[in-house]
Amino acid sequence: MQVPAKFEYERADSVPHALQLLERYGPEARIVAGGHSLIPMMKLRLAQPEALIDINGLASELGRIAVEGDELAIGALVRHAELLDDVTATDLFPIFRDAERVIADPIVRHRGTVGGSLCQGDPSEDLSAVFAALRATAVIQGPGGTRTVPVRQFHQGPYETAVEPNELLIQLRVPITPGTGSAYEKVERRVGDWPVAAAGAVITVSDGVIAQAGIGLTAVGAEHFCAPEAEQHLIGRAPGEEVFAEAGRIAAEHCEPHSDQRGPADYKRHLAAELTRRALARANRNVPGSATV
């Protein structure tokens, strides 16, 4: 029987209250929402926080998905299942539908949250690559107010993020650009597992050429979950199979996969190229008004 070590438990009734509790308990306190990364780690005693601050009651502040101007705002407490079910979000960005359908399983997705996934900072976590591909911005609140950090600077290493011990990730903001398509491709050993490798692609096509490109890579040691060299190759070129295949090759060249129980490094590198190619091709097909549909 797995039992977490003892901890203090506090329930936040507002974001300012959560921040006060973080100040009171200090750096050994942890925020808990869905708990589907943290609680298993606590049961294995890999994590032994002195206090848990439960933010599950903050859905009215942190649980909304809404279009605000030219951005889609996603609250940190939005559950995976809620993002998957939100037609506005998944129509604007099919990459969310692709990724959320293969994150864990439907029951886990009822609890796990978008913000929790990003803050866990697991190198194999799908949404980190998705938001990196989308060039989203993280909104972080602390005692001095809110600040924003590009998601491409949010992850500072495995399980390390830009969120300070006295701060709370409250929202992700995704820029909405007309003419944009997106997709996510993942290979897993069995349904619901972490990826062997995965790739997300976001492209904006304007006047027949790629005006903007985002590529996110999961579980292959890509710095900040993205592939800037491959993105650069796409800019200004007409979308097409050759161009996408070359971008895949470049993405694979610049990542650093490691061999582990999910597969050898050379296989993961092969997947990085192939999944990038496939994600780009599908992203291109779902660009609104795309002639190749």
Which residues are at the interface with other proteins (CB under 8 A)? Answer: 1-9, 11, 35-36, 39-40, 42-43, 52, 54, 56, 104-108, 110-111, 191-192
Q: Is 45 exposed, middle or buried (0-12, 13-18, 19+ CB in 10 A)?
A: exposed
To other proteins, the closest distance from the beta carbon of 177 in angstroms equals: 31
133 contact partners, CB below 8 Å, separation of at least 6: 95, 182, 200, 201, 202, 214, 215, 216, 226
To other proteins, the closest distance from the beta carbon of 188 in angstroms equals: 12
Name the nearest CA neighbour of 103 among 88, 85, 117, 87: 117
Based on CB atoms, which residue is closest to other proteins, 192 or 221? Answer: 192
The two tokens of residue 280 are 């780009």
Going from the C-alpha of 131 to that of each of 7, 74, 183, 247, the distances in angstroms are 32, 11, 12, 19
Distance between CA atoms of residues 19 and 215, nearest Å: 34
To other proteins, the closest distance from the beta carbon of 50 in angstroms equals: 12
Based on CB atoms, which residue is closest to other proteins, 127 or 134? Answer: 127
Based on CB atoms, which residue is closest to other proteins, 42 or 196? Answer: 42
To other proteins, the closest distance from the beta carbon of 110 in angstroms equals: 5
Based on CB atoms, which residue is closest to other proteins, 101 or 249? Answer: 101
Based on CB atoms, which residue is closest to other proteins, 56 or 177? Answer: 56
Based on CB atoms, which residue is closest to other proteins, 111 or 278? Answer: 111
To other proteins, the closest distance from the beta carbon of 29 in angstroms equals: 13
Query: What is the pairing mode between strands 160-161 and 65-68?
Result: unpaired
To other proteins, the closest distance from the beta carbon of 167 in angstroms equals: 23
